């Protein structure tokens, strides 16, 4: 286990993905280790599939993350990852989904969204490390698409950036979720860890 240090994590996704659940779980895992943490949530239009952003800061008094301040960008949807790039500090780390949830205008054919290669290129231009994962597919294989958010947290745990490993997050999942739901999420956590380690 590494020493506790300051770490700013900016999370972004769309309503219904479980972005806020992921934020709360991660915060609880940090607290379980006796470490200082602050978290903030911007709900947006969560119930309509709108943008949902949240922040989690270790060793920092304020949960606010301004442009160029995030050490880590967790993107639960690739277009939202693209939109959140200004928050990432130069040389920061991006862990993102590569599976789209099309915005309404794109779904209705009124606009055309960026393709994944374009998003990856822009992400790579401003980050030190960029990893994309098929988290929705991982979640679906574990019984719920929303479990994909836990897979992305698993990748974060495997990155070594947190002052603890995936076993702490697993313990938090088991302590805060009903057994049946917990099992699926623990499986997703494991898939995320494995995906990071094999990329």
> According to the CATH classification, is domain 7-101+115-198 in 3.40.920.10?
yes
Entry pTM: 0.92
> Domain-by-domain residue ranges, the chain?
7-101+115-198
Alpha carbon of residue 30 to chain centroid:
15
- Name the pLDDT band for 3 (thresholds 50, 70, 90): very low
Is residue 1 predicted with pLDDT exceeding 70?
no
Is residue 2 predicted with pLDDT exceeding 60?
no
Is residue 44 predicted with pLDDT exceeding 70?
no
Is residue 153 predicted with pLDDT exceeding 80?
yes
**Angstrom distance (rounded) from CA 178 to CA 126:** 40
More confident residue, 149 or 42: 149
To the nearest 10°, the Cα dihedral for 143, 162, 131, 155? -20
């Amino acid at each position: 286990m590494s020493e506790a240090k300051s770490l700013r994590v900016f999370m972004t996704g769309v309503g219904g993905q479980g972005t806020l659940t992921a934020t709360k779980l991660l915060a609880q895992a940090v607290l379980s280790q006796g470490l200082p943490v602050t978290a903030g949530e911007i709900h947006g239009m969560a119930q309509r599939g709108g943008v949902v952003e949240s922040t989690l800061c270790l060793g920092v008094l304020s949960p606010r993350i301004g442009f160029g301040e995030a050490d880590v960008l967790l993107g639960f949807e690739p277009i939202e990852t693209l939109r959140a790039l200004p928050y990432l500090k130069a040389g920061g780390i991006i862990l993102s989904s590569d599976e789209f949830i099309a915005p309404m205008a794109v779904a209705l054919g009124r606009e055309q969204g960026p393709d994944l290669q374009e998003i990856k290129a822009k992400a790579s231009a401003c980050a030190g490390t960029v990893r994309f994962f098929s988290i929705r597919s991982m979640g679906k294989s574990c019984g719920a698409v929303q479990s994909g958010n836990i897979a992305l947290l698993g990748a974060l745990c495997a990155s070594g950036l947190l002052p603890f490993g995936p076993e702490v997050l697993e313990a938090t999942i088991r302590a805060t979720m009903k057994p049946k739901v917990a099992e699926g999420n623990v499986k997703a956590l494991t898939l995320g860890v494995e995906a990071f380690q094999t990329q």
